[in-house]
Amino acid sequence: MEGPKTTWHSRKGSIAIALVLVVAGASTYLFVSYEFPSYKCMFVPGNNLYLHVVSDATAEPLVALPVKGQLVEICPVASSGSATSNPTRTVLGSWDFTTNSTGYVSIPSSELAGWSITFDVAYGGDTYRFSAQICGGGATMVELGLPSGSVDGTNSGLGTSVQLDKNGIQRVQACGGSWSGNATIL
């Protein structure tokens, strides 16, 4: 009697794990396989991202504040458009901004092909850090209230789509409704 046959499928950048168990002279095979795929991700750029920084006390715009931004890519992305449990995080670029006379920072679509932007906003001797997910194919509006650090955001766009092609490239268009939270004070 011939034992079970195992076919290994592997591709460049993958790791496979197997376990073989032999019991009392008869061969019993337990095959466990887990692949760590090597993905590349391509993000649909957002149309625009607007950050509005206001005073908690007066709701007035806070002008001439220094703002640092880092465009971040995570990969892979779950089919729902959310982050997987252990994605690779890559900083694609860093920029220095200043809030304008109406308290806004506007980032054009040419700089928005990634997963999110992490902002560091300096105010009152502290630095407030938070991230805003980029709405692929749509616009992202974020309001930061200071000194509380409250963050409210809204994405409007084409929805979420994550497609994997035969070459292991994920084409990601992630865009989820509204969110709120608090910036971390560094």
91 beta partners: 72
CA distance 88 to 90: 7
β pairing state of 150-156 and 178-182: antiparallel
Q: What is the mean pLDDT of the chain?
A: 79
More reliable by pLDDT, 5 or 1: 1
127 beta partners: 122
- DSSP category for residue 46: B
Give, in order, the Cα–Cα distances in Å from 139 to each of 79, 116, 142, 154, 163: 21, 12, 10, 8, 21
Q: Is the pLDDT of residue 33 over 70?
A: no
More reliable by pLDDT, 19 or 95: 95
More reliable by pLDDT, 40 or 149: 149
- For residue 56, the model assigns a pLDDT of 96
Secondary structure, 3-state, 123-143: ECCEEEEEEEECCECCEEEEE
Task: Kindly report, residue by residue over 47-79, the tens digit of the pLDDT.
Answer: 889 999 999 999 999 999 999 999 998 888 887
CATH for 40-185, options being 3.30.2130.10, 3.30.300.160, 2.60.40.1120, 3.40.50.300: 2.60.40.1120
β pairing state of 21-23 and 104-108: unpaired
More reliable by pLDDT, 168 or 52: 52
CA distance 98 to 3: 69
Q: Is the pLDDT of residue 107 over 80?
A: yes
